[in-house]
Chains A and B, each alone.
Chain A
Amino acid sequence: MKTPTIESKSNAGRSNSKLTDLELIHLYLSTRNSGYFQVLYRRYSGKVYSKCISLLKDEALAQDAAQEIFTKIYLNLAKFSERSKFSTWIYSITYNYCIDFLRRRKKHKNLFSSEMEDPPDQIDEVLDTELMEMEVGRLKNVLENIPEGDKAILLMKYQEEMSIKEIAASLDKTESAIKMKIKRAKHKAQAVYKSIYIN
C-alpha cells in the first residue's frame, strides 16, 4: 500500500512548504505521516549534504553520511527539546557525526590542534573580525589546511553562529574546553594564513 504523502493531507488548506519546522515536527509526531518529514528533509538536505562534503571531502562518503544523519534525525525527532532552533539541532548532529567519522577513520588521531603546540597562556587572542573578514577564497584555503576538528569548530561558531553552550552540548565537552578549542583553532587558522599569504 502506498503511504499517503503530504500533498494528499494538507494542513487546513495551508501550503505545506509554508509550515514552520516546529509545526511539521508536531504534525509528523502526531500523525506519523512520513510526508511531513519529507518536507523537513527537502528543506535541509542540500545544506546538510554540502556541509558533509565540506568536512569529509568525498561525495560518496557525504552521501552515506547525509543518509545516516537524517536517519538519526528521524529516529530522535521526539527528543528534540525545542530549546534551540531546529536548524541548529540538525547542524549539530551533522558536525558531530562528521567529527566522529573522521576520528574513527584516523583511528583516534587527534582531530584538533595539539595542546602541546602552544601552552594556553602563550596564545594571543585572535580577533573574530580577522577571520570573518578574510577574503572568501583565502578563508576556504585556510580552512582546508587546518585540522578537520578545528575547521568544524570554527564553522559551528562562525557559520552556524552556535553559542559556546550549544557547541559544548553537541560535542559533549565542557564550555571551557570549547572556548580553549576555539581559541586554538583561531590561532591555527591565523598561523596557516600567515604561512600561505604573508611569508
Chain B
Amino acid sequence: MSTNNFKKLEEEEEKQFPHAPPEIENNLMGNMRMTHFMGDVVELYLPRIFEMILSFFGNNQEVKKKMTPNDQLESDSDDGPIGSPKSDL
C-alpha cells in the first residue's frame, strides 16, 4: 500500500485538537431546542389561527347572505345623510 502523508498530517492535527470546545455543543443544542419549540408552537397554534380567520370571514359572508336586498336598503338608509327625510323624523 502506498504512503499517504496527508492522512498522517490529519492525525497530527486531530491530536492537537481532539475535541471541539464545549460551547459549540451547548449553543447548537440550545438552537435545536429552540427550533423544536418554535416548530411545536407553529404546529399547535397555526391551524387554530387559520380556523379562527376562516370562521371570521365565513361568519361575515353568512350574515351578508342572510340579509335580503330590502334589508340592505333599509340598513343603508338608517345611516343616511343629515337632512334626509328619515333623519328629520
Contact = CB atoms under 8 A, between A and B. Distances in A.
A47 B2 contact: no
Q: Interface size for chain B: under 10, 10 to 19, 20 to 34, or 35 or more residues?
A: 20 to 34
A71 B31 contact: yes
Query: Would you call the interface of chain B mostly helix, strand, loop, or mixed?
Result: helix
Interface residues of A, number: 36
Contacts of A37: 32
Interface in B1-41: 2-10, 12-14, 16-21, 23-25, 27-29, 31-33, 36
23 contacts: A3-B33, A32-B36, A37-B32, A38-B25, A41-B28, A46-B18, A46-B19, A50-B17, A53-B17, A63-B21, A63-B23, A67-B24, A70-B28, A74-B28, A129-B2, A131-B6, A134-B5, A136-B5, A136-B9, A139-B9, A143-B9, A158-B4, A159-B6
Interface of A: 3, 32, 34, 37-38, 41-42, 45-51, 53-54, 63, 66-67, 70-71, 74, 129, 131-136, 139-140, 143, 154-155, 158-159
